[in-house]
Structure 1
């Protein structure tokens, strides 16, 4: 049986709580039920969870269509290119071409990725009755000539960064919170650091947040993260996972966190043994 508890600040008309409770199905949340029944007090919490919290589980990337949409306007293209240039990945400019498809295209199910093939050349994604080809232009060092690559021919890290840019800029605009598992997957350590720095700087006026897991120990740097921003996952005796804050270990201000972690001072390091011959 469910146990219902309400805080003193939760307001409702007489009898409304009982209606909301009885209307909440076993496979539904009280929060969504109350919103459907026009509870105004809970709406800000509901909208934050549904519109301003973005969670990317393992193996799922940001929707690249957010980045592609930005390329369709002059201001959006400038924002994307400013982001990519600061990341210093060598792309001079991006071009989105609209072409007639060789045959009618159906959008792929689920979240689109730029490297989905659909029998088309790399970097081609379907639009409404059109085929959108995304080209990354590079300037050749020896003669200064511009050379174009389909985005699908770029490295995993470059494609992933492009997938991220639209969602990250939207989060910065709306003050959203993005949770990403293994942020450093396919990304150079300097790019991962750049993404973490992005949410720390003054040009984050709406207080967007980035919550991420990583194996990149170079991010354990007090010049980048405050001590209260770092948490560790450690296996317990039952092989379960335990989340503990860095502050539990009372690190000093200015302490070399990366060195301390690798020495096992904060736990959460794998215990490796020797291979038997």
Structure 2
């Protein structure tokens, strides 16, 4: 679970800005909060509103950037590829900063790093509680020792383990995160009692999911449907619930020669699937627009299947099969989100989604959020959205502390604030005030009379 995220000097963010999932003082909708873990409870959802270019997407990009730095790392001798805030000359000199406060594996952690295009200046991991902090490790480029690993080293009894950990720390490139080295250098196999490091890496790898408007989530689930009747039933129940008009789904065998995919790419996939390296890979996925193909191995041969929808036909027993490219963008969007909903309700997932409402009717996006909140009792998952959909801006659906706004100041810097900061009654409908500009998160449209060309 995400407790808090802060960002500084990154894209449109200049001064440090904090996005918090900590509950405010309100007592309404208590089921929107999780049970306390070491004194800290968090909210299950939040929606960030704002005008175009206000910083909503940049906040999500910052969260995703940190995830990629941990999981993918940075190429040796290459600059760290990101953009500082460009509208203040001082920002070119200043470093950037990203920090996550999270809940995972029964503990609360604060993990972050200070960096620039050349190097990681600082990196830290703390276990945090309501009243105390434990420093697990700290890295500071300005210190002679560079790494403080005392907390971990004190737990290790074998000298060779201590030496190995020191070796990894000392060998961490200046432009690489220590957590990335822990993940990629087989430290787990050689050093015990590093559960805190592995827990944080696991959160980035398996819990945090960042989804941008053109992303598809867990396409592989569509391949699993043919082997799992319960999974198929759940998927089709969701299709019926959201009134898509689809009666079922299936995988249809097709000739791979007829797929509109470059032949060299198909050959490469065939080679990979037939190689020994791919023994644990069940299928390769190819998405072409709204069409999804699955290539799998059967009897040492490649089988190509296409994901199809089924529709009832009047005066006929057999359904008509549709290529998903023939379905509406909204229907395809719903099919993309069904695996997401299923994973949300399993628990231990944090979904951060940009423009979830794209191609969806306002009633559908409202119901998606309401469905998650109504079915997540006792489930620790989070759904965090950046949205323009003002129909979500109601206290009938969300708490005040779940509603956030992104605005830009006079110098183009993004700032974040919550509805919790305003004196708003719990029963007041706030959508009208938002559209009138009370919360400062709408476009500032100029004077039409100054449009000289069209006023001639």
2:285–2:293 Cα contact (<8 Å) kept? no
Q: What is the CA–CA distance in structure 1 between the aligned matches of 2:178 and 2:415, rounded to whole Å?
A: 29
Counterpart of 1:113 in 2: which secondary structure?
strand
Partner of residue 145, structure 2: none
Corresponding residue SS for 2:320: strand
What is the TM-score normalised by the length of structure 1? 0.84
Q: State the partner residue of 1:219.
A: 392
Out of 40, 53, 60, the residue aligned to residue 195 of structure 2 is 40
Query: What RMSD over aligned residues (CA atoms) do the two structures have, in Å?
Result: 2.9
Structure 1 residues 185-219: Cα deviation after superposition (integer angstroms, max 9, x where no partner): 11111221122123212355432211111110000
Taking the aligned partners of 2:422 and 2:181, their CA distance within structure 1 comes to 42
Aligned length: 269
Q: 1:264 aligns with which of 425, 433, 437?
A: 437
Q: TM-score, normalised by structure 2?
A: 0.53
Distance 1:4 1:269, change over 3 A: closer
In 2, are the aligned partners of 1:199 and 1:209 still within 8 Å (CA)? no
Are 1:2 and 2:121 an aligned pair? yes
Question: Within the alignment, does 1:22 sit opposite 2:22 as a pair?
Answer: no
Deviation at 1:183, TM superposition (A): 0.7
State the shift of 1:256 in Å. 0.6
**Which of 51, 55, 75 pairs up with 2:230?**
75
Match of 1:119 in 2: none
> Which SS does the other structure have where 1:12 is aligned?
helix
Task: Return the alpha-carbon distance in structure 2 between the equivalents of residues 113 and 255 of structure 1.
Answer: 45
Task: Kindly state the Cα deviation for residue 177 of structure 1 after the two structures are TM-superposed.
Answer: 0.6
For structure 1, which segment, 228-237 or 99-108, has the greater mean C-alpha deviation from structure 2 after superposition?
Answer: 99-108
Of the structure 1 ranges 90-99 and 239-248, higher mean CA displacement relative to structure 2 is found in 90-99
Distance apart, 1:33 and its partner CA:
2.9
Shift in Å, 1:143: 5.1
Instruction: Give the 5 Å matches for 1:109-258.
Output: 112-113=286-287, 115=289, 123=291, 125-128=293-296, 129-139=302-312, 146-203=319-376, 205-258=378-431
Q: Structure 1 or 2: larger strand share?
A: 2
Change (3 A) 1:250 1:20: farther
Larger radius of gyration: 2
Partner residue, 2:81: none
Shift of 1:5: 5.7
Is the contact between residue 213 and residue 355 of structure 2 (CA under 8 Å) also seen in structure 1? yes
Q: Which secondary structure state, in structure 2, belongs to the residue aligned with residue 213 of structure 1?
A: strand
Is the 8 Å Cα contact of residues 354 and 387 (structure 2) preserved in structure 1? yes
1:88 to 233, 243, 246: 243
User: How far apart are the structure 2 equivalents of 1:252 and 1:67?
Assistant: 45
Residues in 1 aligned to 2:430 and 2:222: alpha-carbon distance in whole angstroms? 35
CA deviations 1:90-116 (Å, max 9, x no partner) are: 2122222234433684559x9843526
Inter-CA distance 134–21: structure 2 relative to 1 (3 Å threshold): closer
Provide structure 2 residue ranges, at least 5 long, that are not aligned to the other structure: 1-119, 127-132, 137-150, 155-161, 189-193, 271-283, 297-301
1:156 and 1:6, CA in 2 relative to 1: closer, same or farther beyond 3 A?
closer
Higher relative contact order (CA 8 A, sep 6+): 2
Rate the CA distance shift 1:255–1:216 in 2: closer, same or farther, 3 A: same
Cα distance in 1 for residues equivalent to 2:237 and 2:248: 10
Kindly indicate whether the alpha-carbon contact (under 8 Å) linking 1:70 and 1:166 is maintained by their aligned counterparts in 2.
no
Unaligned runs of 5+ in 1: 117-122
Query: Is contact 2:213–2:356 with CA below 8 Å preserved after alignment?
Result: no
SS in 2 for 1:13: helix
Deviation at 1:70? 3.1
